[in-house]
Structure 1
Amino acid sequence: MNYWLIKSEPNTYSWDDLVAKGTDHWDGVRNYAARNNMKEMKVGDLAFFYHSVKEKAIVGIAECVKEHYPDPTTDDDRWVVVDFSPKEKLKKPVTLEDVKADDRLQGMDLLRLSRLSVQSVKKEEFDIILEKSQS
């Protein structure tokens, strides 16, 4: 299993929107690195759902339920989507400041590649974030 982080502006598409839909495709990605990450996703992989812009916090965990296929929002065949379902809302959001304050997370893509909308997350990082969300 692989772990990921997907970012969205909550006023555009929030965790609650995904929960309301039940399953939805992750579309609109127009960055090659983010697209390549999506192409690596497998059914069962887990992704942190991150509210960007003002909130800047990991708020939930989504599960990949369908691997990449052509993005239905464009005719350009370079772009893909994957389908996610909500798995779990975090007990407590983990903010960007929480991540920055933890020395164990200094290599996390969230800090190194801050503008990338679809990022890989190491298993150790995933576990640390989960731990932080419980306290």
Structure 2
Amino acid sequence: MAYWLFKSEPDVWSWDAQVAAGEAGTHWNGVRNHLARKHLMAMKRGERGFFYHSNEGKAVVGIVEVIREYYPDHTDESGRFGMVDVKAVEALPHPVTLDAIKAESALAQMVLVNNSRLSVQPVTDEEWALVRKMGGL
């Protein structure tokens, strides 16, 4: 099973909005970066990812699960990009800030540290376990 990180600006789509979407979840649309698209295409139903608040807060705040695999993004007029659907699974008891992640030497190679602008990123098994632990899970 692969793990992921989904970045969202909280004033556009927040963790609270994701939670409010309930079991039906919501689509993760608007991705227009080719590498991020490649990651979306690789996702399988049941895989999990961190929900990361970017710009404001800059922290991992929750965990989501992929509930629908890659399909066309209805907001993309070019037809080149797609999306997945995700649902909220659980909040981190203690949000894990970008500063805390950068301060942890074991996370020095995490994509979030080295390519923080990428909106959808892979997370290794080791990174997944450590960030969960840092967040109180």
TM-score range, shorter chain: over 0.9
In the other structure, the counterpart of 1:48 is 50
2:93 to 66, 91, 99: 91
Matched, 1:18 2:13: no
In the other structure, the counterpart of 1:58 is 60
Further displaced range: 56-65 or 67-76: 67-76
Aligned-pair Cα RMSD in Å: 0.9
**Alpha-carbon distance between aligned partners in 1 of 2:120 and 2:56, rounded to the nearest angstrom:** 18
Runs of 4+ residues over 2 Å off in structure 1: none
In the other structure, the counterpart of 2:74 is 72
Further displaced range: 69-78 or 54-63: 69-78
Unpaired segments ≥5 residues, structure 1: none
Give the letter for the 2:45 counterpart.
Answer: V
**Alpha-carbon distance between aligned partners in 2 of 1:94 and 1:115, rounded to the nearest angstrom:** 17
The superposition leaves residues 98-132 of structure 1 with CA deviations (integer Å, 9 ceiling, x where unpaired) of 10010000000001111000000001000000110
**SS of the counterpart of 1:110?**
helix
**SS of the counterpart of 1:104?**
helix
In the other structure, the counterpart of 1:35 is 37
Deviation (angstroms), 1:72: 1.1
**Alpha-carbon distance between aligned partners in 2 of 1:50 and 1:127, rounded to the nearest angstrom:** 16
- Fraction of identical pairs, as percent: 47
Deviation (angstroms), 1:76: 1.9
Give the letter for the 1:18 counterpart.
Answer: Q
**Alpha-carbon distance between aligned partners in 1 of 2:59 and 2:113, rounded to the nearest angstrom:** 13
Deviation (angstroms), 1:74: 2.1
In the other structure, the counterpart of 1:2 is 2
Give me the TM-score of the superposition, normalised by structure 2.
Answer: 0.96
Correspondence list, 1:96-111, <5 A: 96-111=98-113
**SS of the counterpart of 1:100?**
helix
**SS of the counterpart of 2:56?**
coil
Unpaired segments ≥5 residues, structure 2: none
Give me the TM-score of the superposition, normalised by structure 1.
Answer: 0.98
**SS of the counterpart of 1:28?**
coil
